[in-house]
Chain A
C-alpha cells in the first residue's frame, strides 16, 4: 500500500530533478545526456510506479487506446478540412501556367485520388514519416518540429513556472486575507493580468527594461538575460487565471468541516493553510493546467514574433496561411497528442492529490 511518505519522497525527487535541469537549462549550462535520461527515468518511473501501485494500468491502457483513436479522427478531420478549405498550397499572386501546376501536383502526389492521398498520409504517419513541407523545400516536417519545438518547450516551461510561482501564492494570499484591501489589490492585479493582452504588455516592458533601464535585450533567445522578458510576459496571463482559481477554491475549502476541526485542534494558522487547505484547493488549478501546458509548450505565436524567438508558434499559424498541408497536419497532430497526454497526466494527478477521486 502506498503511504504518504512514499508519495512525498517520490514527488520531491522528481521535482528536484526537474527543477535542477530547468535551472541548468536557464543558465545555459550544457545538460549531460545521462541527466536527461535520469529525468526521463524518474518522471517515467514515478508515472509507472504510481499507475501500478494504484492498479491503474488498465485505466492508463484504456486511455492510451482512446487517445490513439482520437488522434486518428483528428488526422482525418484535419485532412478533410484542408481539402475543403478554399485556396491551395501553390496558389499565389502570380498565377502559374497549368503545365507548371501539373508538374508540382505530380511531385507532391496532389493529383492522386483523394482517398489514395489520405491512405498514403495515414500509413506515412505509422511509419513515422510526416512528409515534406511544401513551403520549406527539402525540409521534413519532423525536422522542423525537432528544430523548433525545443525552443518553444523551453520558453513554455519557464512561463509555466512563472505562472505557478506567481499564481498560486497570490491566490492563497488573497484568500487568506479575504475581503481586505490586500485581497482586493491582488485580485485587481489578477484581473489586469487576464485582460491585458501580451502584445500590449510586451512593448511596454521592452521600452522600460530594454531602453530606459537598458537591463535586458529586446529580442532573440540566446541566454538567461534573453529568457526573462518573454517567459514573464507569457506567464502573466495564466498566472492571473491561476490566482483567481486558487483564491476561489481556497475560500471554499477554508469553510469546510475538516478545516474547522484542524483549527479547533489548535493548529497554527500557517500549518492549516499550507498543509490542509492548499493541497485540497489545487484540483481546479490542476484541471486548468492540462490544456494550459499543452497550449503554452507548443509555442506562442505572439511572444515568439515580438521577441524573434525561433520556436514552433510561428509555424502553427503560418503553415495555415501557406496551406502547407503536411506541416499543418504534423503540427495539429503533435498539438493534439500533447493535449491528450497532458489531460491524462492531470487525471492521474487528481487521484494523487485527492485520494477520494477514484479512476477506473
Chain B
C-alpha cells in the first residue's frame, strides 16, 4: 500500500505543476502576408564577407543591397545601380568611380556611406577574416598583397573614399568585367561598429543591421528563418510582410508540404521525378549559366595524345545524355554556356562516329585492344552515375573502347583529381559572374581549377588580353579563338551540357524571380 501512496503523491504533484502549455511551433504569421519558401538547409553563415554557399546568399540577397545588381530584363544580362547612383571607368578602365544614392538608411536609421563599403572590402581582404571569397577583389591594386599579409597598411590598397557618398577604386590593370563582382554578397557594405560590438554573434537576429528590403526577424537553427519587411527601405517596399524560409533537406518531404499548401516555393526538384513534375502547372524552369564537362588527364597515356581526346569528344552524343536526364539540359560542345556573352553554339566537337573512329585509328590504336582500359572518375551521386554509365556505353558502342567507372565520395574525389586525376573525370562550373572570363579563366595553365594538367601559352595570353579589352567585338573574337583551342584543337576537356533548374511555385505567387544567375530576390513578388 505504501508504494501506491507514494506513487499517487508524486503523480499529483507532477500533474498540478504541468498546467501551462508550451506555445505551438508555428510562428503565428498571417498566411496572406507570408511567402513560404524552402531553402533546403541551414545557412552556414549570414556573414556576407565570409559565406560561400547559395543558401546563405539567398537570405543575404534579400536583407542586403550592394553597389550594383543584375538587370535581368536585359538579354545580355547587364547591370543596374543598386545603392550606386552612377558609376564609370576612366579611359583604360583601370580606375572606377562610384557615386552612392543619398538618404539610404540601415534599419537602425544610420545612413549608408562609402566608408562602409571600404570597411566591408577591408574586412573581406583582411587575412584575419580568412574569407574564402577574398580573391574576388584581387584585381584591385595591392589587394592581393594585403590579403597575403605583405602589406599591412590598407591605405595602400586601391580603394579610396573620396566623399561621404563617393568611392574610387584603382585596379591592377584594365578589367572589363570588374563591375559584375560588385553584385556579389561578399562586396556588400558592413557596419564595423556592429561587428565590433557583437563579435561572431553580429549576425544573430537581435544584433544584425542591414539595409535591404527585408530584415532578419527569427533564425531558428536547422528549422526556419523569418524575414520581415523593412519599413524604412529606400526603394519600393515589398507588397507582403513576411518571408518564412524553411530548411527542409528532403525534396519529397518538401513536395508533400507543397501539395498540402504549406510551402509556396520549392526551389529544387528530384531529377528522377522530373518527367511527372514537369507536367504540373506550378512547374517553372530556367537555364542557368553552368557547365557540366569531362576533363582528360593529358599526362596519362593514352590521353597525352590529342587525337585520342578528340576522338572521345567526337564519339559522345550529347543529345543522348540530355535526353536520358530529361531535365531540359542544353547539349553543349562549346565552353561558354548559352545565355552568356561569348556563347557560340557551333564551337566544339560535334557528334561524328566516323570521324571519331578515324581519329583513333590515326592515333595508332587501329587495333583497339592496344588501348588500355580507360578510367572515368566521378563523385558518388545518382545523376553523375547515370551520366557516367551513359558515356561508358556510348564509348563502347561508338568507338569500341572499354571504360571503367570509378566513383568516390565528394571530398575524396576532389583530392583525387587534384593529386592524380584518372583518364577522364567529371567536373562542373557555375557562374560567379556572367562573363566568359569566369569560365575560360579556369582552364589557364596557372588556374587551381584546371585539373587536366594541360597548359597552352597562346590560350593563357588570349584570356589575359580579353579581360583587359573593353571593345566587345574584340573580346568576343578572343574568346572565340580561345574556345576553339580548348574544345577543337587541344581538347583537354569535353563539355557535355548546360543545366536547367526546376522549381515548383504556387499559383498564388506572382512575379517569382526566375533567372539564369539563380538569384532569388523576393522583393518584387505579389501574393494572391
Interface residues of chain A, those whose CB is within 8 Å of chain B, are 5, 8-9, 12-13, 16-17, 20-21, 24, 27-32, 34-35, 85-88, 90-100, 102-104, 106-108, 135-139, 144, 147-148, 203, 206, 210-211, 217-223, 226, 305-308, 310, 314, 321, 323
Contacts and interface: CB of A to CB of B under 8 A. Distances in A.
7 contacts: A20-B18, A95-B447, A96-B132, A102-B148, A103-B131, A136-B44, A222-B24
Given A9-B2, A222-B25, A210 B256 contact: yes
Chain A to chain B: the 9 pairs with minimum beta-carbon distance, closest first: A222-B25, A87-B411, A138-B200, A95-B448, A310-B222, A137-B45, A107-B130, A86-B415, A20-B14
Contacts of A221: 25
Given A305-B250, A308-B253, 5 more contacts: A28-B22, A93-B427, A94-B449, A103-B130, A308-B249
B346 interface: no
A310 B221 contact: yes
Contact of B15 (A20, A107, A306, A314): A20
Interface string B398-425: 0000000000011111111010000000
Interface size class of B (residues with CB under 8 A): 35 or more
A305 B19 contact: no
A99 B191 CA distance: 26
Contact of B25 (A9, A85, A100, A220): A220
Given A87-B411, A103-B147, A218 B257 contact: yes
B223 interface: yes
B6 A29 contact: no
Contacts of A223: 24-25
Interface of B: 2-3, 6-7, 10-11, 14-15, 17-22, 24-26, 42, 44-45, 47, 50-52, 127-132, 134-135, 138, 144, 147-148, 200-201, 203, 220-223, 246-250, 252-254, 256-257, 259-260, 409-416, 418, 427-429, 432, 447-449
Contact of B414 (A93, A97, A100, A148): A93
Contacts of A306: 250, 252-253
Contacts of A35: 14, 17-18
A12 to B, nearest CB: 6
Nearest to A139: B221
B63 to A, nearest CB: 17
Contact of B412 (A17, A87, A144): A87
B130 A99 contact: no
Contacts of B147: 99-100, 103
Given A13-B10, A30-B21, A219-B257, A308 B250 contact: yes
Given A20-B15, A30-B20, A219-B256, A95 B449 contact: yes
Contacts of B14: 17, 20-21, 24, 35
